[in-house]
Amino acid sequence: TKRLTLRDLQGLREQAEPIASLTAYDATQARLLDEAGVDVVLVGDSLGMVVLGHDTTIPVTVDDMIYHTRAVSRGLNRALLMADMPFMSYASIDQAVTTAARLMQEGGAQVVKLEGDAQQVAVVSALSHHGIPVCAHLGLRPQSIHKLGGYRVQGRAASEAEQMMKDAQALEEAGADILLLECVPSRLAVEIRSMARIPVIGIGAGVDCDGQILVLHDVLGMTARAPRFSHNFLAGHNSIQDALAAYVWSVKRREFPAPEHAFSS
């Protein structure tokens, strides 16, 4: 089969069919996600926590990302493969281009994701000019956890919400191909989604995004303390395959996220 492309994601957005996305870190996980019909597989820097046992994503290196991206890439037939640019691997334009090129050439990534506000406009623009597809991750940005002062909902204050809308617009204009919103009030996600012309994938951002993403370990009930916006899909199912199919089905039917997984303004 053929791998999905950005055009396919744009098509899903236009047809109002939610994009189902999950993280994976090895080839077997990737194969199971692909077989379950997951559209976008992300090799998240969450691997620092769920695979390597760190407290945050900050210690993750580019080499860690490449090692796992390459493994995931071997397990995929259909899903689009996105990989995170880890902490401090895109602090300058040159560094960002080098990191993105390595994730694509050595890892097999089709899209790179970076955490950023309007500060990252120059980086996104440079990557875009080099033909590198980019996802911009807004809202709760775990690589900035020490600056943000904790894992909290972002964009609740009116001024913060307004800034996030401006940032989203600036990043899209700079050439971002996908926006990812983490832990933002559902109403703000709706506003950003209606302003954007590119797919908006949410995690803790309510049901009215173009797609949903969760961390695999949360979906399979393996995390010690899962975030409120996630759901254990293995509960009530007899296999990992059934749990993953249930996740995809729930996202496609807009049954997940339910109101209890979302945040109010």
How many residues touch Na ion under the rule CB under 5 A: the total is 3
Nearer to Na ion, 132 or 246 (CB): 132
- Give the residue closest to ligand KIV by C-beta: 44
Applying CB under 6 A, which of residues 23, 89, 110, 186 lies at the interface with ligand KIV?
23
Contact at 8 Å (CB) between 219 and 234? yes
Does 4 bind ligand KIV (CB under 6 A)? Our answer is no
Phi, psi of 202 (to 5 degrees): -115, 155
Rg (CA), the chain: 17
Nearer to ligand KIV, 170 or 219 (CB): 219
Q: Draw the binding track, 33-52, toward Na ion (x: CB under 5 A; -: no contact).
A: -----------xx-------
Containing 11, the helix (H) or strand (E) segment is helix 6-14
In three-state secondary structure terms, 48 is helix
Q: How far is the CB of 51 from ligand KIV (least distance, A)?
A: 11
Q: Render 64-123 in DSSP notation, one character per residue.
A: HHHHHHHHHHHH-SSSEEEEEPPTTSSSSHHHHHHHHHHHHHTT--SEEEEE-SGGGHHH
Does 117 bind Na ion (CB under 5 A)? Our answer is no
Does 69 bind ligand KIV (CB under 6 A)? Our answer is no
∠ CA 7-245-236, nearest 5°, is 150
Is 115 labelled a binding residue? yes
Nearer to Na ion, 58 or 101 (CB): 58
Which amino acid belongs to residue 5? T
How many residues touch ligand KIV under the rule CB under 6 A: the total is 10
Containing 29, the helix (H) or strand (E) segment is helix 27-36
Q: Draw the binding track, 175-194, toward ligand KIV (x: CB under 6 A; -: no contact).
A: -----x--------------
Residue 139 in tokens: 């809202």
Q: How far is the CB of 157 from ligand KIV (least distance, A)?
A: 23
Does 82 bind ligand KIV (CB under 6 A)? Our answer is no
Applying CB under 6 A, which of residues 18, 29, 39, 46 lies at the interface with ligand KIV?
46
Does 250 bind ligand KIV (CB under 6 A)? Our answer is no
In Å, the largest CA–CA distance within the chain is 48
Residue 101 CA, distance from chain mean position? 19
Residue 128 in tokens: 């875009």
Does 191 bind Na ion (CB under 5 A)? Our answer is no
Does 182 bind Na ion (CB under 5 A)? Our answer is no
Q: Which residues form the interface with Na ion (CB under 5 A)?
A: 44-45, 84
Return binding residues: 45-46, 84, 113, 115
